[in-house]
Amino acid sequence: MLTKSELTKQHILETVAPIFNRYGYAATSMSDITSATGLTKGAIYGNFENKEDLAIAAFKHTIKKLMSRIADHINKSESPLKKLYLIADFYRDYYRISKTYGGCPVLNIGVDANNQNSKLLESVRIVIERIQDQVATIIEDGIENGEISSEINAMQYAKRIDSMIQGAIFMTYTMDDEFYMKDSMNQIDEMITNELKT
């Protein structure tokens, strides 16, 4: 059972996370936050040290929800090779999924924070590194069980897959066209089949 303070904090994060994600740190004012949450500045600052602290917490909140959805999807299989295909499969529908969060948090906050907010940017970089580490671990597991070629550099391919995904997200949102997302995921599937699979 959550305390009243924990419920308030959760309400703030649930309400504010999509706003920060959609409009960015600088463009989101305290009046936007108080208006959306129905709380006073005092109530906000009673739960978060400052606007920056709230923005970082909101980003982490969105990422936690998103990573949980990805994990649920890729855990449909025990096979590392199939998990890689499931990553691409998840992102085929990412445009629709990410809109519920106000857009892609890694792309939106990463671009917004670059040259503007070093602490927020560092939070994004940590998430990117974590994602790439997780993909590299899946590839290493595949090498270990003989599904993936031992010639493969796991981190190099993890970074390549992540770059293709992030590039596709940028193009899909910029052009409002899911072709980029779906086509890039097909390319990732082909890369898994032709370059990684034993």
Residue whose entry in the numeric block shows the structure tokens 């929800």: 65
Fold category of 59-196 in CATH: Tetracycline Repressor; domain 2 (1.10.357)
Cα 163 to its chain centre, rounded Å, is: 13
C-alpha closest to that of 55 among 121, 130, 141, 120: 120
Give the pLDDT confidence score for residue 58 in this predicted structure: 96
Structure tokens at 51: 């606007």
pLDDT tens for each residue of 158-178: 999 999 999 999 999 999 999
State how far the Cα of 60 lies from the Cα of 50, in Å rounded to an integer.
Answer: 16
C-alpha closest to that of 56 among 106, 99, 119: 119
User: pTM for this one?
Assistant: 0.93
Instruction: Give the chain's end-to-end CA distance (angstroms, integer).
Output: 49
For 2-26, b/e burial (b = at least 16 CB within 10 A) is eeeeeebbeebbeebbbbbbebbbe
Confidence band, pLDDT 50/70/90 cuts, at residue 97: very high
pLDDT tens for each residue of 102-119: 999 999 999 999 888 899
Kindly compute the dihedral angle of the four CA atoms of residues 106, 110, 111, 117, in this order, to the nearest 10 degrees.
Answer: 150
pLDDT tens for each residue of 135-161: 999 999 999 999 999 999 999 999 999
Give the pLDDT confidence score for residue 130 in this predicted structure: 97
